[in-house]
């Protein structure tokens, strides 16, 4: 209820300004969305720490906390970019990798299997097996 009232009553200029200050209204949806976008960007660029990196840290809990603080700081910068381009530009700016990255394109090999009449439930495991056989490595969903 509060979220609907807040988004209906507060003008966009106020909500974006408050969002930049870290006051994101109910539930902090804008900051959470920015964090998700940052995590997607990091994953696309292989910048997410692996389990081995986390485990080899002297204090894994502090390592994870530092990583999440880094993501939060990047999300604040991303929100600032979006607010500035929205206010001074013609629209809201977005990270190009989240819309134009080749990893987001449809995989033609997978869709060829679907077009042959194979159901999705069978086509996906077959596609994964084909990739693993071709590359000789475990399947990486972010790569394909």
Q: Report the pLDDT value the prediction gives residue 114, as an integer from 0 to 100.
A: 84
Q: Per-residue pLDDT for the chain (144 aa), expressed as one digit of tens each?
A: 555 565 555 666 666 666 555 555 544 777 888 899 899 888 888 888 988 888 888 888 899 999 999 999 999 888 888 888 877 777 776 666 665 666 655 577 888 888 888 888 888 899 889 888 988 888 877 666
Give the pair of three-digit tokens for residue 139: 């399947």
Query: Taking the complete model, does pTM exceed 0.75, yes or no?
Result: no
Per-domain residue ranges for the chain? 2-93, 106-144
Q: Report the pLDDT value the prediction gives residue 26, as an integer from 0 to 100.
A: 47
């Amino acid at each position: 209820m509060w979220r609907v009232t807040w988004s209906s009553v507060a003008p966009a200029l106020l909500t974006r300004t408050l969002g930049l200050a870290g006051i994101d209204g109910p539930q902090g949806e804008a900051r959470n969305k920015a964090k998700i976008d940052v995590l997607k960007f990091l994953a696309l660029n292989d910048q997410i720490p692996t389990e081995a990196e986390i485990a080899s840290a002297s204090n894994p809990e502090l390592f994870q906390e530092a990583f999440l603080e880094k993501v939060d700081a990047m999300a604040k910068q991303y929100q600032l970019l979006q607010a500035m381009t929205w206010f001074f530009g013609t629209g809201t700016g977005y990270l190009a990798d989240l819309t134009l990255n080749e990893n987001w394109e449809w995989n033609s090999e997978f869709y060829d299997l679907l077009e042959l009449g194979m159901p999705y439930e069978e086509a996906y495991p077959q596609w994964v097996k084909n990739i693993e056989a071709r590359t000789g490595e475990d399947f990486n969903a972010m790569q394909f």
